[in-house]
Structure 1
Amino acid sequence: MTLWEPLTVGSMQLPHRLAMAPMTRDRSRPDGVPTELNVEYYRQRASMALIVTEGTQPSADGQGYLLTPGIHTDAQVAGWREVTDAVHDAGGRIVAQLMHTGRIAHPDNTPHGRQPVAPSAVRPAGVMFTASGPQEMPTPRALTTAEVPGVVQEYRHAASAAIAAGFDGVEVHGANGYLVHQFLSDNANQRTDAYGGSIAHRIRFAVEVVSAVADEIGAERTGLRISPSNPYNDIVETDPHGLYSALLAALAPMDLAYLHLMHSGDEELLHDLRRAWPTALLLNRAGADLDARVADLDAGRADVITVGAMALANPDLPARVRAGAPLNAPDPGTFYGGDHRGYTDYPTLEEATSRAR
């Protein structure tokens, strides 16, 4: 079975091909510093082939949700160093996902209380959970052309900070309706400058961000996550085939460590992107069972599979899968915020067996 074959991904040596997808858990300190609880959570899951962290803001303006971590201050770097040390001591590998939420934000969730920034002043549909309850997301402030290079530099600085914190690499979040994806989209990006309009212009921000990160820390430590045709967070893409073919054509010469694809069900597009991408492809087939995901590996549609809720609820997931053991069921009621419950208290197979005796 391909699942248990080792693989080199960029500068990382993976012992198998079952990796942990990024999952927002809203359990950091208000200043974006990881806690001891976060250290334990990631340490428990170090047997995954690779851990991709929860979305981590590259700047103060990049925060959209409550209690999400950052990677742009000295205190945040120190907090993440405790996480990476714990994962490495347990034999794991971990990359930081850089997530600027753009317009998917509310000022009440940030230390500075500023209006969110985005490609254009287009308010997203939906509400944002805040400490005072759900609130409509405000209309964001459109970044000026002169400001965009500064945002690119925020990603560069955060990538450098991630390496200083001991991460094995960085994943740029270009999916799920956040800032990079907003620039790619047809509806969130209404710009008429060099960052909007044609596909060639709409991919420019993504290419500049990834290029800056790769230049700062090395292409072999740089990945990108995309989610073609995913309407999450009020995103519209009228020509995903043309858009992502152009994006991959621009990025392929960089020889990045990997592309992390969140699959929406368009099998033709998956085939085309698999064929176009020259290095490792990490595939997240959301909602599929493990057998279907392993079939992607065996058929060559992916080099690594990433799972979210399965890894959340099963800190020793590779051991359980190898043993053919039953899996813990995830508790959606404890996904976001809270304490150790539904976070670090899911039992391992060994613990569950011991309790049953």
Structure 2
Amino acid sequence: MKVFQQGTVGGIEVKNRVFRSATYESMADEGGRVSPAMTEMYTGLAKGEVGLIITGYVCFASTDNPSARTVSMGPDADLSALRALTDAVHGHGGRVVAQLAHVGSQLHGAPSGEVFAPSAVVDPVSGILPMSGEARVEGPIEGRRRLFMFN
């Protein structure tokens, strides 16, 4: 069966075709940092022979988290915890990629900072009026750079 054969996904070599889909796990700590329990869960998936693990939401900034316990890659992100999670998965032959997310005005609860979206239109669900994405670009770009440079 091909499901147990090696393959390549987007240039990433995987040991099999068993994937864990992007699923919100609510396991980051309140500050948006990878928790020990989260690392343990992903390590367990790799030990169980999951070839490619797609994480739950990973946001670019702490102000962009859709809800509590979502991993943030903002300026205050703990890259050492992300590295430990990645190393643990790799140590068991698995690969891990991030589900990158930007929720804009679709936040749950009150925003903790500036909210930006593609256009400055009141969101009918949250009632939030975001700034136009062009009004504040530097922060998100830095967050994306940190994500893509993390290897």
TM-score by length of 2: 0.83
CA distance in 2, matches of 1:2, 1:156: 35
- Name the residue aligned to 2:56: 54
Residues 1-357 of structure 1: pairs in structure 2 closer than 5 A = 1-46=1-46, 47-73=49-75, 75-106=77-108, 108=110, 113-126=112-125, 137-143=126-132, 145-148=134-137, 151-160=140-149, 162-163=150-151
Provide closer, same or farther for how the CA distance between residues 40 and 94 of structure 1 changes in structure 2, counting only shifts above 3 A: same
Q: Secondary structure at the match of 1:45?
A: helix
Deviation per residue, 1:128-160 (Å, 9 max, x gap):
xxxxxxxxx232313253534653343123222
Identify if the C-alpha distance between structure 1 residues 75 and 156 changes in structure 2 by more than 3 Å, giving closer, same or farther. Answer: closer
Normalised by the size of structure 1, how large is the TM-score? 0.38
Q: How many angstroms does 1:125 deviate by?
A: 4.2
1:54 touches 1:97 (CA, 8 Å); kept in 2?
A: yes
Shift in alpha-carbon separation, 1:76–1:146, aligned structure 2, 3 A: same
Gaps of 5+ in 2: none
Q: Deviations over 1:254-281 (max 9, x none)?
A: xxxxxxxxxxxxxxxxxxxxxxxxxxxx
- Tell me the SS of whatever aligns to 2:70: coil
Cα distance between partner residues in 1 of 2:148 and 2:109: 25
1:2 maps to a residue whose letter is K
Contact 1:8 1:14 in 2 (8 A): yes
Post-superposition shift, 1:82?
1.7
Q: What code does the residue aligned with 1:156 have?
A: R
**CA gap 1:63/1:44 in 2 versus in 1, 3 angstroms:** same
Aligned residues: 149
Structure 1 distance, partners of 2:61, 2:79, is: 13
Higher RCO by CA contacts (8 Å cutoff, separation 6 or greater): 2
1:59, 1:71 within 8 Å by CA — same for their partners in 2?
Answer: yes
Per residue, is there more helix in 1 or in 2? Answer: 1
Q: Indicate the percent of aligned positions where both proteins have the same amino acid.
A: 27
How far apart are 1:53 and its partner, in Å? 0.8
List alignment gaps of at least 5 residues for structure 1.
127-136, 164-357
Q: What is the distance in 1 between the residues matched to 2:114 and 2:140?
A: 15
Counterpart contact for 1:17–1:49, Cα < 8 Å:
yes
1:33–1:76 contact (8 Å) kept in structure 2: yes
Pair 24,144 (structure 1): closer, same or farther in 2 beyond 3 Å: closer
One-letter amino acid of the structure 2 residue matched with residue 17 of structure 1: R
Larger radius of gyration between Structure 1 and Structure 2: 1
CA RMSD in angstroms comes to 2.3
